[in-house]
Amino acid sequence: KIIAGKIVDKTTKELIEEGTLTLEDTKHQKRRSFRQILLNKIYADFDYNGKIFQMGEADEINFLRVKSAIDIATTSNDPKAIIEDVKYLKVEVPAGFEEKIKAIIKDKVTLSEVVQDLKINWRLKDNSVDSFTFGEINHIYLLWILRGTAAQEEYTTIATKTMKVKSLEELESIEWK
């Protein structure tokens, strides 16, 4: 263990008994270690139908762009702007796309379906590239958010339990993997 920048060859129990550490210090250390487990769970790779997505903190912006494109397109009332924006993306545009957009601009549900069916190439964890629809990417993002929410719930439960313990033995019995 490292205490005040020095390596100490003592157990936590010995450090508490001699007053170098308190049970409160140890609780906070344990909670910080659980916080790291939480982050590892949130940002772990994600398997979607056998395709492994890298889900690091910096990757979230890519998912947000797809979600934002769907949200913005389905709130627009300007078919020309949507058509031009989609062309700008250089994604695979299905035949008859322009006519569909013009015909359904007033029906936001149908417009959302059309935008969600657009294909986009996505780099996977192993640096291969595969094609997915905007809808699939949005669904993967939702699953990732839900996975993170579940992990956060687990963390909250275990962190609360950690801070309520009355002894080192109770604290050391708490595990989360």
* Structure token pair of residue 88: 């700008």
The answer to whether residues 141 and 66 touch, using CB atoms and an 8 Å cutoff, is: yes
Q: 127-167 pLDDT, tens per residue?
A: 999 999 999 999 999 999 999 999 999 999 999 999 999 99
The values of phi and psi at residue 58, to 5°, are -75, -15
Q: 23-62 pLDDT, tens per residue?
A: 999 999 999 999 999 999 999 999 999 999 999 888 999 9
- As a whole number of Å, the end-to-end CA separation of the chain is 21
The highest-confidence range among 16-25, 95-104, 117-126, 156-165, by mean pLDDT, is 156-165
Question: Among candidates 34, 124, 29, 108, which has minimal Cα distance to 71?
Answer: 108
- Predicted model pTM: 0.76
